[in-house]
Amino acid sequence: MPFRRVLRFCISFLLLGLLSGAAAEGLARDVEAVLAEARAAEARFEVRRALELYLEADRLRPDDPVTLQKIAQQLSDLSLEVATPAEKKAQAVQALEFARRAVALDPTNPVNVLSLAICYGKMGVFSDTRTKIEYSRLVRQEAERALALDPDYDWAHHVLGRWHLEVAALGATARFVVRVVYGGLPPASKEQSITHLRRATELAPERVPHHVELGFAYLAAGRGAEARASFERALALPARELYDAPAQERARAALGARAG
């Protein structure tokens, strides 16, 4: 090959490499800009906008487990906005799929694992009895796995606390039917619910839902004074996260019912 052709080839190859590198760098900047905008929308409780932006980030940089978990979270959070059960179920199905993908890519991240537990819980609402019970088992399994990965993960304690409270609230007849027909559920107790929820409030005392759910656990255990204190603590906190205001409404209703 003549020297000039070799030289042109080398220069072209070098330019191609430089252009590819510049394109990759520009793409990385674009993704980070989209993610920053998505986080800002999420902080403003603009769930639909945050979902659109996280989906765009996934298109720009596919299979990032953090982004996939965020998409699952936004889809799950949209249940506060959509009107019909069919819409809620469709979003729950999508959320579960994204959560599964996030865990498959990064199974050691407790946030991903707990997101999967929460999505199973959401799906249980729209399922038949047999599937609902299976999802309930999976909620506990994945929440415990998240806690094993991070024993100080406050939301994992929260989810386990709620699981114990809901399962312990089943009446004797219902538990008998579940055991005989569907193979039963893991053991649950109000005491374990209080233990987990109290630990959640210790780890993240600024989070409203922890105090609200602890209040309901205390109520279920017949500890009225402690329930009142938990509800009042929740109402004294500022509403900073998406679920804070609805949780505070539940606390107000519980206090009103007790006063009445």
In whole angstroms, what separates CA 79 from the centre of its chain? Answer: 12
Predicted TM-score (pTM) of the model is 0.85
Give the residue ranges of the chain where pLDDT is below 50: 1, 6-7, 9, 13, 15, 18-19, 22-24, 180
Quick one: tokens of 21?
């590198």
Give residue 79's pLDDT: 80
Which residues make Cβ contacts (< 8 Å) with residue 235, sequence separation at least 6?
248, 251, 252, 255
Give residue 18's pLDDT: 45
Quick one: tokens of 223?
């500890």
Give residue 130's pLDDT: 84
First and final CA of the chain: distance in angstroms?
95
Give residue 22's pLDDT: 45
Alpha-helical segments (H) within the chain: 3-43, 47-60, 65-77, 85-105, 110-124, 129-149, 154-168, 172-182, 190-203, 208-220, 224-236, 244-259
The dihedral of CA 127, 131, 132, 135: what is its sign?
A: negative
Nearest to 212 by CA among 191, 196, 190, 227: 227
Give residue 131's pLDDT: 87
d(CA 197, CA 195): 6
